[in-house]
Amino acid sequence: MTVAPAPVKERIRRVPEVLTPDRLRTIVAFVAAIAVFGIGEILHPGFGSAESVKAILLTASFVGFVAAGQTFVVLVGGIDLSVPWVLNAGAILVVTTSLGQDGRASWAVLLTLAMGLGFGLVNGLAVAFLAVPAVVITLAMGGVAQGLTLGLSQGLTCSSCASYAPPVIRHAVTGEALGIPGGLFLWLGIALLMTFVLGYTTFGRRVYAIGNNAEASFLAGVNVRLVTVVLYMLSGMFAAFAGITLAAYGGQASLGMGDPYLFQSIAAVVIGGVSILGGRGNYLGSTAGSITLVALVTLLLAENMPDWGRDVVYGGVILAILLLYGREKTAV
Amino acid sequence: MQQAPLLLSFAILAGTFGVYAGLFVSNQHHFLTPFEGQSIVNTAVPLVFAAVGQTVVVLTRGLDLSVGGVMALTNTIVASNMHSSTGSMVAWSLIGLAIGAGAGLVNGCLIAFGRLQPILVTLATLSIYSGLAIKVLPEPGGSIPIEYTKFMANVNGPWGLIYVAGLLLVWFVFRRTPFGVAVYAIGNDQAAARASGIKVRLVKVGAYVFAGTLFSAGALFFSATTLGGDATAFDPFILTSIAAVVLGGISFFGGRGSAVGAVAGAFALTLVTPLLFQANVNQLYTDAFQGLFLVLAVVLAGLVGRLVSART
């Protein structure tokens, strides 16, 4: 009678080595993305064409940039609600400081990224050192970013607000090499970097350790506060970076351009299988989530879905995935 | 000592009011007239209702980000349907409250029975409710009968305070009902609450339904004072309702605090806009100062918390 369990145990041990639940979720997210393209091609021939896929991927890359930062903070059980206005501030700051001149571009980009890091620093310090709930402080800093953006740009009526993004930045995002837009190379680079940092560095291990059990990782010698602050700073920086690329893509900055990216970045992270309770998931999943979400919304727009429908779809997708993946284990 | 956060919230309100009144007197050379009082109260009432609703869910260790969507949906539906007959005004007011209760029911069921995180659920439903509000009223418009405005918000004085008083009365009754006691018990220790026979999931759903109803009540008053519908006018309430709760000294870890503090916090936040106006600061900075107010409040609360825990 005691002999029977042995083979079962062996089988359980062998399967997860290849297909851990985390990897499975990432694969599912990519399959979902491909499925959306497949369905799109059937409903609208040409939806899956190279040109269309290229355009959708480029749009998804902006979500992917914001989602990179969001992935970091979600992995330690946090959330960043300040991204829409940090992004918007970034887009406006880069055009107003560069004034469309290539010579000023590098300084403008550095200044904008520093601005994002600054907002993230305040978020991170409050979360790590004062135990302020992430929702509260990031919402507050989002408000500060919004007010400062509106006030300093005089509601985007300032003389330099109509400036275009410098050609060199625009070329880096929209210019094509080997038929692929520069924005996608940027995204590929960030995806590789994120995967390397999270999967193969001490820093990455510490992120997962904190997400699984902050107290245990503190006792194991991880500087929990420092890592947390760095993660929120990176989230702010990625939001500002997305702002730069969006200004480059559209040519100019506008008010409210960051608004969709709160829901999109969180939906992308959730679809990608990153556990909202922290400690599980990876950036590849979030990239797949970004692609799935943008492809789905593009398809629905092609199906003549009105604007308001997009908001409902974002909410519905987040809820559906949460019900699949995000349920807390403890029975209430 | 237990009343310390409450006293702090009143100190913040008194300080904000003092600065505002001081600036006003030095600019205008006379004291506040009933007009200023009425205008401040009418602006504050919707936020007061939203903040008390937010308090109820925060007490259960939850959070409701969908407040902006619930208020927008109530406002747009009421503004596009209400007529000036008494029956229509009563009916659409009740329907408005039912919309809030229904939205809260959806939030509460997903959180309590779906075992999902309140932040994500209400973020998702915020998107859904806001989307539906835009469907109801794609452009700002609709109309609210003038009779409704006269009844809800008398223009001759700060009569809105009657609603605040009524709300506080509801709050004091609520705290003494088994439901109110259960809300506090869940926030303090969910497992202990369950062990002592409290139906945790039902109480949580109830808290979100109660909150949603209060959000809609605030939206009805907002509709009466703005005379129309606007699906995009309610996003600021997400930040301000949470800020009012923080300023009111209600703990985000549940079970501690009183809606009285949130009411004081709501008034303090409402004073930010007229204060900036008197200080000659561009109104575009309002969000920045309200956000900064919230940052300072949480940082102060965090520092005080560290000092207190360091001593014990």
Tens digit of each residue's pLDDT (9 = 90 or more) over B64-88: 999 999 999 999 999 999 888 888 8
pLDDT of residue A1: 43
Q: Smallest Cβ distance to B291: which of A133, A144, A315?
A: A144
Mean pLDDT of A273-282: 82
% of chain B with per-residue pLDDT over 70: 95
> How do residues B175-229 score in pLDDT, each as one tens digit?
999 999 999 999 998 899 999 989 999 999 999 999 999 999 999 999 988 888 8
On whether any CB of chain B is under 8 Å from the CB of A327, the answer is: yes
Mean pLDDT of A205-210: 89
pLDDT of residue B209: 97
Closest approach of chain B CAs to the CA of A315, in angstroms? Answer: 4
Query: Do A315 and B131 make contact, defined as CB atoms within 8 angstroms?
Result: yes
Closest approach of chain B CAs to the CA of A43, in angstroms? Answer: 25
pLDDT of residue A311: 86
Contact between A277 and A213 under an 8 Å Cβ cutoff? The reply is: no
**B154 burial class (0-12, 13-18, 19+ CB within 10 angstroms)?**
middle
Q: Which residue's entry shows tokens 């002999």?
A: A3
Alpha-carbon separation of residue A280 from A212, A227, A325 (angstroms): 8, 17, 11
Half-sphere exposure of A32 (CA within 13 A, CB side): 24
Mean pLDDT of A119-123: 95
Contact between A94 and A239 under an 8 Å Cβ cutoff? The reply is: no
Print burial letters for B197-233: b (CB count within 10 Å at least 16), e (below 16): ebebbebbbbbbbbbbbbbbbbbbbbbbbbebbbbeb
Q: List chain B residues with CB under 8 Å of A136.
A: 242, 246, 252, 294, 298
Please state at what angle helix B34-59 crosses helix B160-176, rounded to 10 degrees: 20
Q: List chain B residues with CB under 8 Å of A148.
A: 285, 288
Neighbours of A175 (CB within 10 A): 14
**Who wins on pLDDT, B118 or B150?**
B118
Q: Smallest Cβ distance to A136: which of B120, B130, B246?
A: B246
* Residue A82 pLDDT grade (very low, low, confident, very high; cuts 50, 70, 90): very high
Contacts with B, A 214-233, CB within 8 Å: none
Mean pLDDT of A157-178: 79
Query: Tokens representing A21?
Result: 């639940």
Going along chain B from its start, the domains and CATH numbers come out as: 4-19+38-311 (1.10.3470)
Alpha-carbon separation of residue A25 from A97, A263, A271, A290, A306 (angstroms): 42, 20, 9, 14, 31
Query: Do A126 and B110 make contact, defined as CB atoms within 8 angstroms?
Result: no
Angstrom distance (rounded) from CA B256 to CA B243: 16
Angstrom distance (rounded) from CA B124 to CA A286: 18
pLDDT of residue B208: 97
Angstrom distance (rounded) from CA A217 to CA A229: 16
Mean pLDDT of B98-123: 93
**A95 burial class (0-12, 13-18, 19+ CB within 10 angstroms)?**
buried
Assess whether pLDDT exceeds 90 at residue B96.
yes
Kindly give, in sequence order, each residue whose CB lies less than 8 Å from that of residue A30, ignoring residues fewer than 6 positions away: A288
Query: Tokens representing B302?
Result: 């965090």
Closest approach of chain A CAs to the CA of B16, in angstroms? Answer: 19
pLDDT of residue A2: 47
Assess whether pLDDT exceeds 60 at residue B311.
no
Angstrom distance (rounded) from CA B270 to CA B274: 8
- Identity (one letter) of the amino acid at A262? L
pLDDT of residue A106: 83
Q: Smallest Cβ distance to B128: which of A277, A306, A316?
A: A316
Residue of A nearest to B305 (CA): A130
Angstrom distance (rounded) from CA A247 to CA A258: 11
**Who wins on pLDDT, B98 or B38?**
B98
Angstrom distance (rounded) from CA B126 to CA B66: 4
Q: Smallest Cβ distance to B131: which of A311, A319, A326?
A: A311
* Residue A175 pLDDT grade (very low, low, confident, very high; cuts 50, 70, 90): confident
Angstrom distance (rounded) from CA B202 to CA B216: 21
Q: Which residue's entry shows tokens 């959306």?
A: A36
Closest approach of chain B CAs to the CA of A150, in angstroms? Answer: 6
pLDDT of residue A275: 80
Q: List chain B residues with CB under 8 Å of A266.
A: 120, 123
Closest approach of chain A CAs to the CA of B53, in angstroms? Answer: 17
Kindly give, in sequence order, each residue whose CB lies less than 8 Å from that of residue A329, ignoring residues fewer than 6 positions away: none
Average pLDDT, chain B: 88
Alpha-carbon separation of residue A274 from A74, A167, A201 (angstroms): 8, 36, 19
pLDDT of residue A60: 92
Q: How many beta-carbon pairs below 8 A join chains A and B? A: 156
% of chain B with per-residue pLDDT over 90: 47
DSSP calls for B177-225:
SHHHHHHHHHHH-HHHHHHTT--HHHHHHHHHHHHHHHHHHHHHHHHHH
- Top residue of B295, B296, B309 to mutate, by most chain A CBs within 10 Å, is B295
Query: Tokens representing A117?
Result: 């890091």
pLDDT of residue B12: 85
Angstrom distance (rounded) from CA B49 to CA A197: 46
* Residue B57 pLDDT grade (very low, low, confident, very high; cuts 50, 70, 90): very high
pLDDT of residue A104: 82
Contact between B213 and B97 under an 8 Å Cβ cutoff? The reply is: yes
- Top residue of A307, A312, A325, A330 to mutate, by most chain B CBs within 10 Å, is A312
Mean pLDDT of A30-52: 85
Q: Smallest Cβ distance to B124: which of A129, A277, A318?
A: A318
* Residue A80 pLDDT grade (very low, low, confident, very high; cuts 50, 70, 90): very high
Average pLDDT, chain A: 85
* β-sheet bridge partners, residue A176: A181
Neighbours of B35 (CB within 10 A): 12
Assess whether pLDDT exceeds 70 at residue B248.
yes
For residue B297, the 8-state DSSP code is H
For residue B31, the 8-state DSSP code is P
A121: part of which helix (H) or strand (E)? helix A102-130
- In this structure, are strands A176-177 and A180-181 parallel, antiparallel, or unpaired? antiparallel
Residue of B nearest to A157 (CA): B284
Phi/psi region, residue A179 (left: phi>0; alpha: psi -120 to 50; beta: rest), is left
